[in-house]
């Protein structure tokens, strides 16, 4: 650590030592009770906790999320990515100074020691400092207990400090010209900021609890590649023979549904690392979307949140869902937000692998919901193709989901998690290619979207067929079939797949209007080419990867 880094952490420690009421590593049951007593949450009929945030905090605040530009780390970060917003060290020093003042003025401060990472060799110690007991219940749900062999971790002496003050605000006049200007000319009073050098993250003004989780996810995604570990925004599960699989996909692609397989134990639903030893979950719990959920549609998630228990043993947190005065919960009411969430420990699910660690993945699935209806429902990717689709992270928005969206729109989120992947893109892409090659891992693109036409004309590919394709990929059955080349999208399409009608494997077969298919396919390929040029035109991407981009 350099002198400034040590100084800041020492200042933080002294501030905590001076505080008159620090609750350190308070037991889970006590934190839950305090959250209720302090009116930070209310009890539901089943014993879980319910809370609501201000309307500006029903989701992340990407335009108020910053990375401090330090000489030591600056060259490793892709500043051309729209989510990597730089902050100068002087502004961070002001925010840190204000955070210490806010801490001193709080009646009670709660601190918790946890780690990120199920494999103790790569576990990152993190001390979370909050003024709300409910925040620490969330941390207890999501971050992992410190393992007994933490001294083996490569990060054993690299503890990270997370300060979360969700109900406070930045003083607008003090930060004029230093943080984001709002459309009305005022200065934003919210910040979510990471200083990788100083190992400190600060959240002020964002009540969305996912801000804490995603900040630490971003930290791991920055640190791990330099330790030989590929961080991935994905779910993971393991078969009865110990064969593991990773499922990557943006919201709406079916990642949660498809990773919940009765024949495969879940390692985790969102964040994993792929090391030289295998894969491991970052987290201790899940932070699941609750909009439109029913016991039939997502039985495991629903039961994890809604099972009956004494509230002190429960601790699931329902965030921003409608609850009526009689206690009924309406997960279909989206008037506050479509992003209602629930946090709960993995142990509340039935079919999990408790260690959250497995060997090298036999199979990686990239999930996309193609609303244009032109991508094959399943394709096998070569190393270069996989690196390209990993770089692009494609899915599509549907007409009607946002104001002004009248037809499907191509959406690209690099590595299926753009806001949380701060490093230069070739770092992540090369690691994927190298690990695929070294461990003989098969990568498949699974289209869970439309067939027979675009959204509004065609129909969603039946879930039973998608499950059959996933099953065939996981069991190695797609290694035994012939493939044809889709030259527009540079994909290898199987000629057959068990329990799937052969005619749907080539999407043109499902369109009545073949000319319209070709026109739509060309349109999407052009969007890929333009999207690639915009994101990576000035990046040093190998020609053999560029050549696999649709439209090129």
Which of 26, 44, 60, 358 is the catalytic position? Answer: 60
Output the pLDDT for position 397: 77
pLDDT, tens digit, 9 for 90 and up, residues 80-127: 999 999 999 999 999 999 999 999 999 999 999 999 999 999 999 999
Give the containing element (helix H, strand E) for 175: none
Can you say how many angstroms the Cα of residue 251 is from the centroid of all Cα atoms in its chain? Answer: 9
- Rounded mean pLDDT of 447-457? 94
State yes or no: is 255 an active-site residue.
yes
For 112, the token pair is 């918790």
Cβ proximity of 259 and 271 under 8 Å? no
pLDDT band at 251 (very low <50, low <70, confident <90, very high): confident
CB atoms within 10 A of CB 237: 26
pTM: 0.95
Can you say how many angstroms the Cα of residue 497 is from the centroid of all Cα atoms in its chain? Answer: 31
Beta bridge partners of 193: 66, 202
Output the pLDDT for position 398: 66
- Rounded mean pLDDT of 282-300? 94
Output the pLDDT for position 252: 84
- Rounded mean pLDDT of 329-347? 95
Which of 121, 199, 213, 233 is the catalytic position? Answer: 233
Radius of gyration from C-alpha coordinates of the chain = 23
Output the pLDDT for position 316: 98
**Can you tell me whether residue 500 is helix, strand or coil?**
coil
pLDDT band at 402 (very low <50, low <70, confident <90, very high): very low
Which of 255, 353, 414, 435 is the catalytic position? Answer: 255
Output the pLDDT for position 281: 98
Cβ proximity of 348 and 316 under 8 Å? yes
Cβ proximity of 275 and 438 under 8 Å? no
Which of 197, 261, 270, 486 is the catalytic position? Answer: 270
Which of 256, 358, 411, 520 is the catalytic position? Answer: 256
The mean pLDDT of the chain is 95
Beta bridge partners of 128: 112, 162
Which of 13, 18, 174, 251 is the catalytic position? Answer: 251
pLDDT band at 404 (very low <50, low <70, confident <90, very high): low
- Give 81-120 as a 3 state SS string: CCCCEEECHHHHHHHHHHHHHHHHCCCCEEEEEEEECCCH
pLDDT, tens digit, 9 for 90 and up, residues 120-170: 999 999 999 999 999 999 999 999 999 999 999 999 999 999 999 999 999
Q: What is the DSSP string of 235-251?
A: EEEE-TTS-EEEEEE-T
State yes or no: is 60 an active-site residue.
yes
Q: Is the pLDDT of residue 70 over 70?
A: yes
State yes or no: is 63 an active-site residue.
no
Q: Is the pLDDT of residue 256 over 90?
A: no
Beta bridge partners of 400: none
Give the containing element (helix H, strand E) for 437: helix 425-439
Cβ proximity of 465 and 497 under 8 Å? no
Cβ proximity of 439 and 361 under 8 Å? yes
- Rounded mean pLDDT of 18-28? 97
Question: What is the sign, positive or negative, of the torsion defined by CA atoms of 183, 194, 126, 163?
Answer: negative
Output the pLDDT for position 6: 66
**Can you tell me whether residue 508 is helix, strand or coil?**
helix
State yes or no: is 233 an active-site residue.
yes
For 91, the token pair is 């502004």
State yes or no: is 174 an active-site residue.
no
State yes or no: is 214 an active-site residue.
yes
Which of 341, 414, 435, 527 is the catalytic position? Answer: 341
Can you say how many angstroms the Cα of residue 346 is from the centroid of all Cα atoms in its chain? Answer: 16
Which of 106, 121, 127, 214 is the catalytic position? Answer: 214
């Amino acid at each position: 650590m350099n002198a400034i880094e040590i100084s800041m952490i020492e200042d933080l420690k002294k501030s905590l030592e001076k505080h008159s009421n620090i609750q350190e590593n308070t037991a889970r049951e006590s934190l839950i009770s305090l959250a209720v007593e302090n009116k930070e949450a209310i009890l539901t009929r089943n014993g879980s906790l319910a809370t609501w945030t201000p309307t500006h905090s029903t989701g992340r605040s990407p335009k108020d999320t910053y990375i401090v530009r330090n000489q030591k780390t600056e060259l490793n970060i892709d500043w051309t990515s729209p989510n990597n917003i730089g902050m100068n060290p002087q502004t961070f020093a002001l925010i840190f100074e204000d955070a210490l003042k806010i801490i001193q003025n709080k009646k009670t401060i709660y601190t918790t020691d946890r780690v990120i990472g199920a494999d103790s060799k790569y576990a990152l110690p993190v001390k979370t400092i909050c003024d709300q007991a409910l925040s620490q219940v969330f941390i207890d749900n999501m971050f992992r207990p410190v393992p007994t062999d933490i001294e083996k971790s490569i990060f054993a002496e690299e503890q990270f400090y997370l300060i979360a003050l969700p109900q406070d605000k930045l003083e607008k006049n003090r930060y004029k010209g230093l943080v984001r200007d709002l459309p009305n000319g005022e200065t934003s009073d919210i910040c979510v900021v990471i200083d990788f050098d100083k190992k400190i993250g600060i959240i002020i003004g964002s009540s969305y609890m996912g801000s804490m989780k995603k900040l630490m996810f971003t930290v791991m995604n920055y640190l791990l590649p330099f330790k030989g570990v590929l961080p991935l925004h994905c779910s993971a599960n393991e078969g009865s023979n110990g064969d593991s699989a990773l499922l990557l996909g943006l919201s709406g692609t079916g990642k949660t549904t498809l990773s919940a397989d009765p024949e495969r134990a879940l390692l985790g639903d969102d964040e994993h690392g792929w090391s030289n030893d295998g894969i491991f979950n970052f987290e201790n719990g899940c932070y699941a979307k609750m909009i439109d959920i029913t016991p039939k549609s997502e039985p495991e998630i629903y039961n994890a949140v809604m099972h009956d228990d004494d509230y002190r043993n429960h601790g699931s947190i329902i965030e921003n869902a409608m609850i009526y005065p009689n206690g009924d919960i309406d997960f279909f009411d989206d008037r506050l937000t479509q992003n209602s969430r629930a946090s709960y420990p993995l142990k509340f699910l039935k079919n999990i692998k408790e260690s959250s660690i497995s060997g090298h993945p036999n199979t990686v699935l990239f999930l996309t919901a193609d609303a244009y209806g032109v991508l094959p429902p399943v394709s096998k990717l070569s190393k270069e193709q996989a690196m390209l689709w990993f770089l692009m992270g494609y899915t599509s928005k549907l007409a009607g989901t946002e104001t002004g969206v009248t037809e499907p729109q191509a959406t690209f989120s690099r590595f299926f998690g753009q806001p949380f992947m701060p490093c230069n893109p070739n770092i992540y892409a090369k690691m994927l290619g190298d690990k695929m090659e070294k461990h003989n891992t098969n990568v498949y693109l699974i289209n869970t979207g439309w067939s027979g036409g675009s959204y509004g004309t065609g129909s969603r590919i039946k879930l039973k067929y998608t499950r059959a394709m996933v099953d065939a990929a996981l069991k190695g059955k797609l290694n035994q079939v012939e493939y044809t080349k889709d030259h527009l999208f540079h994909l290898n399409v199987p000629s057959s797949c068990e329990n799937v009608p052969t005619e749907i494997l080539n999407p043109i077969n499902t369109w009545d209007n073949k000319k319209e298919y070709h026109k739509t396919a060309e349109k999407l390929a052009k969007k890929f080419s333009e999207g690639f040029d915009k994101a990576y035109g000035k990046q040093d991407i190998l020609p053999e990867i560029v050549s696999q981009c649709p439209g090129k």
